[in-house]
Amino acid sequence: MPLNQRLKLNICECGDLHLTYQSMTFHFTQEDFLYFATHVGRMATHVSSRARSRQTMSFTDS
């Protein structure tokens, strides 16, 4: 399935965000989505800069 058909991001009438990936849908408040997106962005930066590394890295607030 092409990537543009596997991933959808919508804002519903109530203001929540719905992220659908294949058969799964995640429901976020705007605050939770921003938190999630920040951490996914950090992970994407790490993965792209260390594509050949097998190092495990955790992205939490602790």
Convert 17-28 to b/e letters by CB count within 10 Å (16 or more is b).
bebeeeeeeeeb
Whole-number pLDDT of residue 50? 73
The answer as to whether 7 is a domain residue is: yes
The answer as to whether 58 is a domain residue is: no
The answer as to whether 56 is a domain residue is: no
The answer as to whether 40 is a domain residue is: yes
The answer as to whether 31 is a domain residue is: yes
* Owning domain of residue 14: 3-49
pLDDT tens-digit profile of 32-56?
999 999 999 999 888 888 765 666 6
pLDDT surpasses 80 at 4: no
What's the CA gap between 31 and 21, in Å, rounded? 20
The answer as to whether 36 is a domain residue is: yes
| 42 contacts 59 by C-beta, under 8 angstroms | yes
| 16 contacts 28 by C-beta, under 8 angstroms | yes
More confident residue, 61 or 25: 25
**Residue 1 pLDDT level (bands cut at 50, 70, 90):** low
Structural domain tally of the chain?
1
